[in-house]
Amino acid sequence: MDSIIVRGNGPLSGQIPIAGAKNACLALMPATLLSEEPLTLTNAPRLSDIRTMRQLLASLGAEVTELQEGKVLATSCHGAINPVADYDIVRKMRASNLVLGPLLARLGHAVVSLPGGCAIGARPMDIHIDALTALGAEIELKEGYLHAKTRGGLKGAVHEMRFASVGATENFLMAAVLAKGTSVLKNAAREPEIVDLAQCLRAMGAEIEGEGTSTITIQGVDRLHGATHPVVTDRIELGTYMLAPAICGGEVECLGGKIALVESFCEKLDAAGISVEETATGLKVKRKNGRVKAVDVVTEPFPGFPTDLQAQMMALLATAEGTSVLEEKIFENRFMHAPELMRMGARIEVHGGHATVHGVEKLKGAPVMATDLRASVSLILAGLAAEGETMVSRVYHLDRGYERVEEKLRAVGAHIERVQGE
């Protein structure tokens, strides 16, 4: 397994290009199951999670071709479709559950393995099941697999989710576009990745209104056609790299970044003493004068502060002046980076869904271990702020969500290198 070595850094300067969003791409790729014609996704990120989704789609009968070094994915689903998403692939990545809605819509039946446990909490599937059941699916759990079927196809319906789940909204959308009649989803998730999926489905001929708000209306159509769609910018990769100059000083422009993607995050950065300026090409970030100030953060569904930036924000606040409280409202058990940061000298107390961070003047480099995707990058950021050397092991988590992280950070002057494992 590879490790990453980071050495405490002075100011950074330069530009970092931000890739297409992993989470958007993972929802867009299964949309290919909805049409016999090809779907081409441009600006796709080159990540191991995307390769896992390719593998899953191929196992279902889709053809996936990579063009331009993986940045363009051409998918086509014109042949026979296998309705079974196998445990061996699904267990690697929870987003595999996003084939359930499109398989049901196209075939009227599907057998999809439950994803199983996840390091950041239990992550059940009840909201997905309720949403698809509202459209007329009958879903049973047998031997670890969800067996879903319809009697005469899916039918449009009005449904309100008990929580604005991102994945369940995506599954509902992909099912309702081919259902008979009109569907209305209330308490829908409003994340930019949902807007991106709706735009892509519309380019394929779907009739959707209201994406980006809590109520989405879908008028079912008989068939969808092919389309070419650019994947939206990755707001989590954007927020992560915005924290690099916040932590090290200097000024970095994140190319392709837009405030609208990270507004609540920018508000917290401003309160912590970090300035963000939107330019014609991206977001320029620099630390205002002096030490970063403590701020309190609560993670919430979009447009609130994203849970996927909580670990990285904690790395920043570990050296802030004063005490910050971070409250995690989306996932239980998402503070596993805290004990690792404490190995580097951070002063953090975790009580249930709250972490209290007492800022210290300086962190100290240490060997640490990545526990999940966002935790691993938070340790790299902390390493940039620490005295001495930090070795982050188990970085395979990182490769699921960040392409060429060492290259991107090195280009702005960071001292970081990858050590190949056995």
* Contacting positions for ligand UD1 (CB under 6 A): 23, 26, 94-95, 121-128, 163, 165-168, 193, 307-308, 330-331
145-150: strand order across its sheet: 84-85, 109-113, 145-150, 137-142
Which residue(s) pair with 274 in the sheet?
287
Nearer to ligand UD1, 165 or 233 (CB): 165
Q: What are the angstrom distances between the C-alpha of 211 and each of 169, 173, 225, 370?
A: 10, 10, 20, 35
Place of tokens 């447009």: 303
* Count of helices and strands (H, E) across the chain: 14, 26
Which residue(s) pair with 186 in the sheet?
160
Which residue(s) pair with 389 in the sheet?
7
Smallest separation (angstroms) from ligand UD1 to the CB of 117: 11
Among candidate residues 418, 415, 406, 310, the one with its CA nearest the CA of residue 16: 406
Smallest separation (angstroms) from ligand UD1 to the CB of 144: 16
Residue 92: CB atoms within 10 Å: 19
Helix, strand, or coil (residue 309): helix
Instruction: Judge contact between 219 and 202, C-beta under 8 A.
Output: no
Residue least distant from ligand UD1 (Cβ): 167
Smallest separation (angstroms) from ligand UD1 to the CB of 118: 8
Work out the burial of residue 142: count CB atoms within 10 Å of its CB; fewer than 13 is exposed, 13-18 middle, 19 or more buried: exposed
Nearer to ligand UD1, 320 or 398 (CB): 398
CA dist 16 and 47 (Å) reads: 17
CA dist 395 and 4 (Å) reads: 7
Catalytic residue, chosen from 25, 118, 200, 248, is 118
Nearer to ligand UD1, 128 or 286 (CB): 128
Smallest separation (angstroms) from ligand UD1 to the CB of 253: 25
Smallest separation (angstroms) from ligand UD1 to the CB of 108: 22
Nearer to ligand UD1, 306 or 359 (CB): 306
Amino acid at 318: A
Smallest separation (angstroms) from ligand UD1 to the CB of 395: 18
The answer to whether 118 is a known catalytic residue is yes
CA dist 130 and 223 (Å) reads: 24
Instruction: Judge contact between 375 and 397, C-beta under 8 A.
Output: yes
Nearer to ligand UD1, 40 or 52 (CB): 52
Catalytic residue list: 118
